[in-house]
């Protein structure tokens, strides 16, 4: 069986951002972004994802400092038997805008990123498939 190159929360965020940007639908958002940053620390940021049955969440809100932020998470990617699903941080996007127009654009960004998160996982599901289950399917 060939070795699967797993995604981590960090690499998944980068892949989603790349796909969204390459689609051309992210141009308006890029025009107002101060930055985007994949998670590099914290529980699970670099841990391989071994389950494709996770949810992605993109939340927009005013930050503790200036601007509007989007925080991106995956929920329960490492264990299906988890009694209390965990959230693992994927990354953050920030604009310095603090007005209604900025909030509307960042809300639109959440929808675009949610769409491309699903697309990326659907196109690359083998990167997330549980290897034990994959072995059982072939035996």
Predicted pLDDT of residue 139 = 39
The full DSSP string for 61-114 is: EE-SSSSEEEEEEEES-S-TT-SS--EEEEEEEEES--SHHHHHHHHHHHHHHH
Check residue 134 and give its pLDDT. Answer: 40
Tokens of 64: 């503790």
- Helix ranges (DSSP H) in 24-68: 27-32
Three-state secondary structure call for residue 48: coil
* pLDDT averaged per 10 residues, the chain (length 139): 82 98 97 96 83 90 92 75 76 97 98 98 88 44
């Amino acid at each position: 069986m060939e070795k699967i190159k797993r995604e981590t929360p960090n690499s998944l965020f980068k892949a989603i951002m790349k796909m969204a940007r390459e689609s051309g639908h992210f141009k308006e958002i890029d025009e107002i972004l101060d930055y985007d940053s994949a998670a590099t620390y914290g529980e699970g940021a670099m841990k391989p994802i071994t389950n494709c049955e996770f949810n992605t969440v993109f939340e927009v809100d005013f930050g503790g400092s200036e601007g509007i932020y989007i925080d991106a998470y995956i929920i329960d990617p490492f264990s299906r038997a988890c009694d209390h699903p965990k959230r693992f941080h994927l990354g953050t996007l920030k604009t310095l805008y603090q007005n209604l127009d900025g909030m509307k654009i960042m809300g639109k960004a959440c929808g675009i990123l949610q769409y491309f998160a699903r697309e990326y996982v659907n196109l690359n599901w083998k990167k997330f498939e549980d290897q034990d289950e994959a072995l059982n399917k072939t035996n």
